Structure 1
Amino acid sequence: MKLAYSVAALALLATTAVAHTASAQTPPAQVGDWRTPDPQNVLVIETNKGRIIAELSPQAAPAHVARIRELTQAGFYDGLTFFRVIDSFMAQTGDPDNTGAGGSDKPDMTAEFTFRRGADTPLATPGKTGSNETGFVGVLPVTSQPAALAVMTADRKVATWGNFCPGVLGMARASNPDSANSQFFFMRQYYASLDKTYTAFGRALSGLDVIRAIKVGEPAPDPQDRMISVRLLADLPADKRPSVQVMDTRGPAFAALAAKRRAEMGASFSNCDVEIPVQIK
């Protein structure tokens, strides 16, 4: 029997929860400011509270993304509940036992708390937190060692890690860092204590309101909210496949949006404060 997954226990350590604040207006954008995500990296999650569409981040956590794809295509997640949901923290699911102690028949995975970033992966809308750099890799908000340190490393790369902003997908685990298997969680609010201690592998493009509407409890009270179906966008029939466009975090329109939020927030600004515009049809 696997140990109960402990991500929820970290909620007791919180002294504050930083709410995700979206920009009131999106500046005008040109066609080149938008991109079409790889449909193999987009999850379409139908829940009893509504639809969540999330983009996976294989650059940050390739093994975890591969596991999520594999289990999704096997129908593993269909019908599973959000059994542990903590307000101002996260909503956890992905356990076939719906208790927090179960997993798939696949082996547990080695942690991917950080990844190596080189010159071929520049940070979008770069900023600073102390001596570290912050920004985005795709839709994933990240913090990184300064790129200038790459000249002193053997692989000419620097350590980078996902930030657990609202909507970010993280992999649940037990006390052993290398115990993630099938369970995952969506962040309802920002929770910095998870950075570099849990694997971040994607972020919701839409449906943050759905994530925050999921019934709260540890365990959540019956009847628990659930995922009705989980599919890769690529696997949906063409007539049922939503069209997804995401503002490119590398483009000038997003840079302008981030600059506007930075000016509004002042010294308290972080990359969690920028909502990435999405068009879904």
Structure 2
Amino acid sequence: IMDSPVFCFHGVEVPVINERVGRNHIRGIHIRPEYPVFSTKAPHATFILSNHSGGDLTCGEHYYLTFEDEKGTWRELPINAAFWDIAYVLRDGEERVMKASLYPDVHPNKPGRYRYFYEITIKRKPVLMMAEFRLTDNEEEWRTAEKTSLSPYISDAGKGGSPQLITEEPMEEPVYKVVEVMPEFPGGMKALMDFIQKNIRYPEEARKNGIQGRVAVSVVIDENGRVTAPVIMRSRYPALDEEALRIVGLMPQWKPGMQQGKAVKVEFTFPVTFKLE
């Protein structure tokens, strides 16, 4: 249905802001686009996940894409969010080729920078991988683009040798969605809502147009209680989205989440309510 010319559909009027970033390579695991550039009319882009970690990793089907708009803000590219997930095991020395649908017939894609996000699991720890690529409307550029290689992250050790890691990066702590003790704003949830309402500067553009409602914001509370990686999960109106992100930037440190007695990174979502008097 999604790809049929008989049906027409559209997502949010303005794509939601998503400034989150991932890892390009870690511990011998590397993700890259098959080509550095694709056509703006391409139905999909392809990516390669390579495993030279010395062990197995697991992965699935789910992915998402972001693009950089004309103001330099990263926003989510509307895609088919309805999916089934399958667990795959990628052995040491194996590669997996993945396709990401771009749906150019639904929302004409503009030339510029794009990012592909894909989550893998290493030793029960989730890691968000990211591969950056470009779209272009210059036919000669995308037709003559050469395939990307694994270098400089992996190289052959010599005749009969196995690939060796050149650049080693430490494993980042995972971001949890649920932990034994969830992070807490100073004073609790009511204090959080009071803080938001106290600091709202109602955008004049939205006020004049009578626009109100809720914006859902997701943040990551790190091990020190700092508020990081804000993402608009549910958009209401561009000016309201920007105001919600501004308020997030004003927040004090939280009490961090705890798992097995240790402070950990936790994703936390809350609403920012805009209501006209």
TM-score when scaled to structure 2?
A: 0.29
More strand by percentage: 2
TM-score, normalised via structure 1 length: 0.28
- Which structure has the highest helix share of the two? 1
Look at both structures and tell me which one has the larger radius of gyration over its CA atoms.
2
Name the structure, 1 or 2, with higher relative contact order (CA <8 Å, separation 6+).
1
